[in-house]
Amino acid sequence: MADDPTTISASRTKIYLDVCCLQRPFDDQRQTRLRLEAEAVKLILARVEDDKLSWVTSEAVDDEISQTPDAERALKAKLLASLAALKITVAENEIRRATELEQLGFAGFDALHLACAESGGVHVFLTTDDKLLKRANRLATQLKVRVVNPLRWLQEIETR
């Protein structure tokens, strides 16, 4: 996919996948929830490849992936992240917004991912992190992006 943001159609939904989502396909698939979320992430990525969704990522994703202790999982996640249409550079604005989000209770990388998603004009931020989902739901009016589980979101867009 192109790195040029002008190639992103205004009609396509912009998504941001956090590292939890990128790792989900490589988790133990014996648990029903993990298997369903993994399938949802794969279907979302297939829509990205078919140009039905526009995937925005960030340097924060790269940084978090680089801290993955399992080298094989890190490489797989890095390869997935390379499919994104646009990568947000972490700059002063993103750091400032991440600091505001941390003051609301979002953890370090979560705050930075949210700040980057907001900066990229993303429509939906996808995560499998229950703690992040719960906090984002509680503070939704203070966020500029909707935060949702990929399985739930995929079910929503399938019924439209």
Specify the CATH number for the domain of residue 89. Answer: 3.40.50.1010
In a domain, 41, yes or no: yes
In a domain, 110, yes or no: yes
In a domain, 85, yes or no: yes
CA distance 86 to 3: 5
In a domain, 88, yes or no: yes
How many domains are contained in the chain? 1
pLDDT of residue 2: 37
In a domain, 3, yes or no: no
In a domain, 37, yes or no: yes
CA distance 98 to 104: 10
> Angle at CA 60, nearest 5°, toward 141 and 42?
80
- Looking up tokens 């009016």 gives 141
Q: What value does the mean pLDDT take over residues 94-105?
A: 97
pLDDT of residue 158: 84
CB atoms within 10 A of CB 80: 23
Q: What value does the mean pLDDT take over residues 14-42?
A: 95
